[in-house]
Structures are given as C-alpha cells and as structure tokens.
Amino acid sequence: MKDNVNPHSSNEQNLAPQSSTSHQTEPKKWWQWFLVYPTILLALMGAMPTYYEMGSAYIKGVKAGDSDKAILSNKMWIKNFECTTLPYEPFVTPTNTEVDATICKSGDVLIKIRTANNEQFFEWVAVEKISRIKTAAIHFNLFNQAMASQSKINTTSSTSNNGVVVLCQKWIGPNLLLRRVQYQGRGCFDETINTYSGQVVKSIPAPCNC
C-alpha cells in the first residue's frame, strides 16, 4: 500500500524562500565595500599620488612627472632674479636656432633657446647638479671658458647685431615673469615667461623704454 503523498508539498518546498549567505554578506553601504574588498581601497590609495601629480602638473603647465622640476625652476628664477637681466649675445646654429647660457654669481646656469619658429624656452641648471657630476674637472674648465665668454658678451652685446638686452622685468604672478626685451635690429617686446615650464607664453611688441 502506497503512502498518501500531498501533491502540492514538493511545489511548496520549491517555492519556499531560500536563504543565501552571499546575499547576507554583500555590503549595503559604499564604505562596506572597502571592508569586503580591501584590494579596491589599496588600488585607489596607490593611484592617489599619480592623480595628484597629474593635477599639479596640469596647473603648472608642465608634463606629468615634472612638478618637482617646475617648482625648482620657479625658485631659481626668484633666486637669480637680477642675473636674468644680464644682456647676452646668442649663438646661432646652422638651423637658425639661437642658444645662449648665462652663468650667475650663484653658479647656476640659465640656458636660453629660441627656435627658428620663434618659440622661446629657458632652462635652469643648478650649480649643485653640476658639482655632482663625476667629470667635475672637465666641467670646471668649461665653466671657466664660459665665464670668460660671458664677460666678453656682456661688454659687447650693446653694439652687437644679435645682442639681447632685458630693459626691465617684474613679477605679475607666482610663476609669471613679465619682461621688456630689446632685440638688436628687431625692436622691443613684452614677454611673459611661465617660470614653471620656462616657456615664453606671450610676446607682444612694446616701446623700447620702461
């Protein structure tokens, strides 16, 4: 004799709510995700310096990774403010690029470049960086030669056809230096330098007086 079986019992069992431990452990608040999946938090924390550097570089107008270099460059402009007004006579390469280097009393070197497309860039080399080079003796000889050359430039630039004279300059922002520059045979210009990037961001004709 067969036992009486309720035909609905199996269906009722199937329809009964089933508990799931996975649903119980799922985080309900955003901060709980970091407790359940700590790797997410670690990944975000690891990326924070990168995002900060990218934002800092963008604000300074330099490439990502160059923020520290930009800050140092700005400090060098402030430190050697008077030195940056010294007249100079650039060397012109076969590609019509003008190159010059001014050695300041601090020993820091300001390199100036003007391309054939009339783009201007400035680059600082700190004396501390030069002194750390293993071939210091060679660079010391070059330093002495450059000093002698600079002395000659400073005394002849006013009559040179390629001389450059900074008539005056002033800070118009934390990293913006406005200077009036006279180019022999080309007239005078007001140039704005981003002292973070060393790039002339604006240049307009100006009278040759301050």
- DSSP structure string for the chain: -PPP--TTHHHHHHHS----HHHHHS-SSTTHHHHH-HHHHHHHHHHHHHHHHHHHHHHHTS-TT-HHHHHHHHHHHHHTTTGGG--B-PEEPTTS-EEEEEE-TTS-EEEEEE-TT--EEEEEE-HHHHHTSTTHHHHHHHHHHHHHHHHHHHHHGGG-TT-EEEEEEEEEETTEEEEEEEETTTEEEEEEEETTTTEEEEEEEE-S--
Do β-strands 187-194 and 176-183 pair in parallel, antiparallel, or remain unpaired? antiparallel
Cα 104 from Cα 79, distance rounded (Å): 10
Opening angle at CA 159, ends 192 and 147, nearest 5: 75
Better pLDDT: 155 or 53: 53
For residue 10, is pLDDT > 90? no
For residue 79, is pLDDT > 70? yes
For residue 210, is pLDDT > 50? yes
- Give per-residue pLDDT as tens, 58-78: 777 777 777 888 899 999 999
Domain boundary assignment for the chain? 67-206
